[in-house]
Chains A and B, each alone.
Chain A
Amino acid sequence: MQFAQRLNPFLRRIPVWPIYALAFVPPVWLLWQAANGSLGVDPVKALEHRMGELALQLIVAVLAITPLRRYAGLSLLRFRRALGVVSFAYVVLHFLCWLVLDMGLLIQQAAGDVLKRPYITLGAVALLLMVPLALTSNDWSVRRLGAARWSRLHRLTYPAAILAALHYLWLVKAWPVEPIAYLGAILALLALRKLPRAPAARAAAQLSTTGPR
């Protein structure tokens, strides 16, 4: 907690825009690797899965911000919007990898899969749930909707995250560790929100949100 309080003033000075700039690096790097053959024997699947994984990792990061503030007193709220928007962009790229490279634009078979294959359905629903979140990730929308309604809307993050993790778990054969770990992390981060707050943590959280501006 002491550590967080010393870190927070420093975090406040870090600008947010580099997140958007850095967000271009992984997809461009992956595409370049896919083009020059260093993404392995099946670059299509590698590209598709890496984009999906990156999106899921950012979703976990977004969900970690509130518990980190509440239990560690760490104030990362300023970066949450950027991380959320980038995760949505990666989800869209993941979807495009699937539709264009994996399905080869066989629209009819792709549409059939969205309706008939539960894991693809889950992924598609998660993507759709994220659309209003991405569209309202700006100050104008917060003002327009009002903070309370905006917050309620953005709780769509929770079902979207759970569906995204199930989408991954349902896709694989057998029970490998990675998809289980993502689902576990997401459920744990959501459960932390339900726990009663410790008094010390509450004080720290309040300090970090209502502290000096």
Chain B
Amino acid sequence: MMAATAGAVLSAMPRTGQAGIATVPSDYSTGEAPNSLADVTGYNNFYEFGTGKDDPAAYAGSLTTDPWAVEIGGLVERPGSYDLADILSGVTLEERIYRFRCVEAWSMVVPWVGFPLSGLLDRVGVGAGARYVAFETLYRPSEMPGQNHAILDWPYREGLRLDEAMNPLTILATGLYGEEMPNQNGAPIRLVVPWKYGFKSIKSIVKITLTDTQPPCTWNQTNPREYGFYSNVNPAVDHPRWSQASERRIGAGLFAGRQETLLFNGYAEEVAELYAGQDLAQDF
């Protein structure tokens, strides 16, 4: 069974012909030990490939990630369709080892490869009046079998407030473990917002739009009572159906039990001021 999983993982990896991506370390990285590559690539929520945790590893291999372009529009100074190579040209890729907390009360530590979203937004020029950033995942049912079922209102959409998007912790990731992004983790380019529940970190992005109104977000639309627009990790604000006070660290072992969940997933020092004056139970 492990062999089968490992085989699926390998086949889902994009082949680059060169080993490793050059990255620089980041002060934002945690010192906690990252989860194994098998954990990170074998346990994913990516409903475009099925609702099971092992569906993405099994079925994402067929996703074509080259060519890939991201349409950047809305309230930006230089809108257009940007090829992935253009987006990455001249960009210094960093290794960001982040805690990752799923809304389902499990967590991992992932060594991402990426760059701050703010850098890209600065390059395309944030337009006057822009207050939010909307993201959209690829819609391609022929390669994403989960999209043939109306599990969610496809394509998957997410959004951030502009100040959240510009925060230095917010990155666009193009790889992990020093290699290009495995398909099941959101290849070729995904968002990572480490102080929010994992579903905010939208995968396989094809569209970024700056707006003046709060954009629709898929899980929020699906169930607004359970999934708020902000969805900041907060042990004091429970999901209606389960407690968020603690979490299980994946890979910790059968009898490891649970650990306490930290406010903003432990990134309060970097992001708490974004929400000064807001009632976090109200704006959940």
Chain A residues within 8 Å of B, Cβ to Cβ: 33-35, 37-45, 47, 100-106, 109, 112-113, 116-120, 170-176
Interchain CB contact under 8 A, A44 and B241: no
Decide yes or no whether B251 CB sits under 8 A from chain A. Answer: yes
Interchain CB contact under 8 A, B42 and A35: no
Q: Please tell me the size bucket of the interface on B.
A: 20 to 34
How far is A173 from B256 in the complex, measured between Cα atoms in Å? 25
Interchain CB contact under 8 A, A41 and B255: no
Interchain CB contact under 8 A, A105 and B241: no
B44 to chain A, nearest CB (A): 9
Decide yes or no whether B39 CB sits under 8 A from chain A. Answer: yes
How far is A47 from B2 in the complex, measured between Cα atoms in Å? 16
* Complex interface: chain B residues within 8 A of A109 (CB): 243, 245-246
A52 to chain B, nearest CB (A): 15
How far is A43 from B250 in the complex, measured between Cα atoms in Å? 9
* Complex interface: chain A residues within 8 A of B22 (CB): none
Interchain CB contact under 8 A, A171 and B241: yes
Decide yes or no whether B267 CB sits under 8 A from chain A. Answer: no
What 1/0 flags go to B95-113 for Cβ under 8 Å of A?
Answer: 0000000001010000000
Instruction: Spot the interface stretch: B47-55, B83-91, B125-133, B164-172.
Output: B47-55
Decide yes or no whether B275 CB sits under 8 A from chain A. Answer: no
Decide yes or no whether B151 CB sits under 8 A from chain A. Answer: yes
Interface secondary structure of A, over-half rule: helix
* Given A119-B241, A174-B152; A34-B254 close (CB under 8 Å): yes
* Complex interface: chain A residues within 8 A of B39 (CB): 41
How far is A183 from B255 in the complex, measured between Cα atoms in Å? 32
Interface residues of B in 224-262 (CB under 8 A from A): 238, 241-243, 245-246, 248, 250-251, 254-258
Chain A to chain B contacts (Cβ below 8 Å), 13 pairs: A42-B53, A100-B255, A101-B254, A103-B257, A104-B248, A104-B257, A109-B243, A112-B243, A117-B243, A170-B241, A172-B51, A173-B104, A174-B222
B16 to chain A, nearest CB (A): 25
Interchain CB contact under 8 A, B254 and A174: no
Considering only CB atoms, which chain A residue lies closest to B255 in the complex?
A101
Considering only CB atoms, which chain B residue lies closest to A97 in the complex?
B254
Interface residues of B in 167-191 (CB under 8 A from A): none
Interchain CB contact under 8 A, A41 and B254: no
Considering only CB atoms, which chain B residue lies closest to A37 in the complex?
B2
* Complex interface: chain B residues within 8 A of A173 (CB): 51, 104, 223
Most buried by B among A35, A45, A105, A173: A173
Decide yes or no whether B43 CB sits under 8 A from chain A. Answer: yes
Decide yes or no whether B272 CB sits under 8 A from chain A. Answer: no
* Complex interface: chain B residues within 8 A of A37 (CB): 2
Decide yes or no whether B274 CB sits under 8 A from chain A. Answer: no
* Complex interface: chain A residues within 8 A of B2 (CB): 37-38
How far is A71 from B51 in the complex, measured between Cα atoms in Å? 36
* Complex interface: chain A residues within 8 A of B29 (CB): none
Interchain CB contact under 8 A, B243 and A41: no
* Complex interface: chain A residues within 8 A of B5 (CB): 40
* Given A118-B241, A119-B241, A175-B151; A40-B43 close (CB under 8 Å): yes
Interchain CB contact under 8 A, B248 and A41: no
Interchain CB contact under 8 A, A41 and B241: no
Considering only CB atoms, which chain B residue lies closest to A172 in the complex?
B51
How far is A33 from B254 in the complex, measured between Cα atoms in Å? 11
* Given A103-B258, A106-B257, A117-B241; A41-B43 close (CB under 8 Å): yes
* Complex interface: chain A residues within 8 A of B242 (CB): 113, 117, 120
